[in-house]
Structure formats: structure tokens, C-alpha cells
């Protein structure tokens, strides 16, 4: 297995792994689904991955998951959560926000370690490209999908990777900071809307300092962590495809245009595999 340093950097981000409990998370035997789902609900607090997939979405989910697991990085990240000593990661599918996905329902233990998280995938995440402003990686896939160079399941697996990126990032965010942000962002926005949209208002400057940035900065930082992991997945997925440099050029262009402050995060992923694969990233 070509385990690059970057894979392990991301793996290490999520948790310091102690002794682990292996859960065979990849059994896709349809006849066992109802039993597994029942267990997923009953044991939702147990460490490992809990797939709570409505029957009607089971087939497409397996396709997306297979696509994710077709890469080294996808398997490494999946295994990390399947064997995780503390974190119960629930993955589910919902018909609302069908082309999007989200992460949440975070819980921490008394030691401040993340012990629960839920990734909710839309039921049609194999379609729909979010804007390049905040989603330079997922958006970059569009022309390759429309010309059939990649299928919808690659887009879906990229969205799953984006959500894994969120969960990994949250694992290294102190609970106190996360709670402070959840608490302060609405208050910040209320002031912002009433002061003539003045971010230099001393009260807002003080609040932003406390919560690690203004609400937009906090949000974009989170989204770009999701995108960085999406890029890590795609890099593995398309490395042998003729179009991989064209895809990376599109990502680079969007990052330079809209995410200049975060360029380093993406450049490191592009450069990880050695000069031959940098595709213009320096």
C-alpha cells in the first residue's frame, strides 16, 4: 500500500489511536441489513462506524462507498473510524438536501475527546456541483462528469470524503472552542446586521478574536478542510487517469481565485506525491 505521509497526517489529525477494536465494517450482505441497522440504532454510542441506511438507498450507498474504498486514502480513513477506540461515527442518508451532505451531532467525553459524530448524505449526492467559491475541489469535477470521464459515484465519494474531512477536523478542535463558536456566531451576526455591516466594530473584533475568526472565516476554514480531504481522495482516485492534471489545474485556478489564504493547504496535498504529479502546483 502506498501510504503517503499525507494520509497519515490526516489520520493523525483525527485521533491519537490507542489499542483498537476491529469492526468488520464492510459487510454489504443485503440480507443482513435490517439486523445491522437495528444494531446501529441500539449501539449508536459504541465506537466504530454505524451505517444507518434506509433500504431504498442501500444500493446507491454501496456504490458510493465502494468508490470511496477503491482508494488507499479512502480505505485508510474508513479503517481508522471502523477501528476507532472512542468515536461512534454514524453515516446515514436523507432525502432532504438531496444533493448535499452534512456533519454534526458531535459529542465529547469528559476528557474533551470527540465520541460521536454523524455524517448525513443526501440521497442524490451523485449529482449537483457546489460553487467553486467555497468548494473548489467538488466543483472542479463538473466538466469531467459532463463529458463522462468520471461517473456520478466519484462525485458522491468525493462528497463523502469532504464530510470525513469535517469529522477529522472537529476531532482536533477543542470542545470549548466549538461550543463557543456555536454560541457566539448568532450573537456576532445580530450585531453585524445592526451596525451597518461593520466588521471593524470593536465589539465584533473582540468576539472574532475569542472564537478564532469571524463567522465567515470560521465557516470557510471548515469548508476548506472538507475540500482538502476531498482533494486527497481525488488525488488517489484519478492519479492514473489521463485528465488528472487538467482536474488539478481547475482546482488550482479556483483556489487561487477564491481561497488564496488557504492555498498552502491544497498545495501540500498536490505536492505530496512528488514532482511528477504536482501538475503545476509549486
| Contacts with Zn ion, residue ranges (CB under 5 A) | 223, 226
| Nearest residue (beta carbon) to Zn ion | 226
**Least separation in angstroms between CB 203 and Zn ion:** 29
Grid cell in block for residue 277: 504529479
**Least separation in angstroms between CB 10 and Zn ion:** 16
**Least separation in angstroms between CB 240 and Zn ion:** 27
Q: Which is nearer to Zn ion, 47 or 73 (CB)?
A: 73
Instruction: Classify strands 114-122 and 101-108 as parallel, antiparallel or unpaired.
Output: antiparallel
The residues facing 88 across adjacent strands are: 48, 116
Q: Which is nearer to Zn ion, 37 or 223 (CB)?
A: 223
Q: Which is nearer to Zn ion, 152 or 226 (CB)?
A: 226
**Least separation in angstroms between CB 42 and Zn ion:** 29
CA angle 72, 78, 79 (to 5 degrees): 90
Q: Which is nearer to Zn ion, 74 or 226 (CB)?
A: 226
Q: Which is nearer to Zn ion, 204 or 228 (CB)?
A: 228
Asked whether 194 and 247 are in contact (CB, 8 A), the reply is: no
What 8-state DSSP symbol labels residue 30? G
Q: Which is nearer to Zn ion, 40 or 140 (CB)?
A: 140
Q: Which is nearer to Zn ion, 223 or 236 (CB)?
A: 223
Grid cell in block for residue 27: 459487510
Strand residue runs (E) in 112-256: 114-122
Helix (H) or strand (E) holding 202: helix 202-211
**Least separation in angstroms between CB 137 and Zn ion:** 11
**Least separation in angstroms between CB 266 and Zn ion:** 15
Strand residue runs (E) in the chain: 48-52, 88-94, 101-108, 114-122
Residue in 187, 137, 142 with CA at minimum distance from that of residue 162: 137
172 to 76, 108, 200: CA distances (angstroms):
18, 11, 29
> 41 exposed, middle or buried (CB, 10 Å; 0-12, 13-18, 19+)?
exposed
**Least separation in angstroms between CB 168 and Zn ion:** 12
> What is the C-alpha separation between 130 and 136, in angstroms, rounded?
9
Residue in 63, 56, 65, 60 with CA at minimum distance from that of residue 37: 56
Q: Which is nearer to Zn ion, 121 or 154 (CB)?
A: 121
**Least separation in angstroms between CB 193 and Zn ion:** 24
Amino acid at each position: 500500500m502506498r501510504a503517503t505521509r499525507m494520509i497519515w497526517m490526516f489520520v493523525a489529525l483525527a485521533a491519537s489511536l490507542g489499542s483498537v477494536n476491529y469492526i468488520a465494517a464492510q459487510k454489504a450482505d443485503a440480507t443482513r441489513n435490517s439486523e445491522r441497522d437495528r444494531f446501529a440504532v441500539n449501539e449508536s454510542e459504541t465506537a466504530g462506524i454505524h451505517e444507518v441506511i434506509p433500504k431504498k438507498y442501500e444500493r446507491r450507498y454501496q456504490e458510493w462507498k465502494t468508490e470511496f474504498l477503491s482508494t488507499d486514502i479512502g480505505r485508510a480513513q474508513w479503517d481508522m473510524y471502523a477501528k476507532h477506540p472512542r468515536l461512534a461515527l454514524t453515516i446515514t442518508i436523507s432525502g432532504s438536501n438531496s444533493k448535499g451532505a452534512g456533519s454534526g451531532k458531535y459529542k465529547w467525553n469528559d476528557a474533551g475527546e470527540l465520541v460521536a459524530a454523524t455524517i448525513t448524505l443526501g440521497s442524490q449526492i451523485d449529482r449537483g456541483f457546489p460553487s467553486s467559491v467555497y468548494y473548489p475541489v467538488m466543483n472542479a469535477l463538473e466538466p469531467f462528469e459532463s463529458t463522462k470521464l468520471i461517473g456520478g459515484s466519484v462525485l458522491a465519494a468525493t462528497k463523502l470524503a469532504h464530510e470525513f474531512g469535517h469529522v477529522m477536523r472537529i476531532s482536533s478542535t477543542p470542545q470549548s472552542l466549538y461550543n463557543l463558536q456555536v454560541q457566539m456566531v448568532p450573537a456576532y451576526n445580530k450585531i453585524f446586521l445592526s451596525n451597518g455591516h461593520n466588521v471593524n466594530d470593536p465589539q465584533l473584533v473582540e468576539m472574532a478574536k475569542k472564537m478564532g475568526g469571524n463567522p465567515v472565516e470560521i465557516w470557510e476554514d471548515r469548508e476548506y478542510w472538507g475540500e482538502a480531504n476531498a482533494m486527497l481522495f481525488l488525488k488517489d482516485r484519478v492519479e492514473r487517469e489521463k485528465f488528472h492534471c487538467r482536474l488539478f489545474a481547475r482546482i488550482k485556478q479556483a483556489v487561487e481565485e477564491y481561497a488564496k489564504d488557504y492555498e498552502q493547504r491544497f498545495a501540500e496535498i498536490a505536492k505530496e506525491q512528488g514532482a511528477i504529479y504536482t501538475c503545476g502546483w509549486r
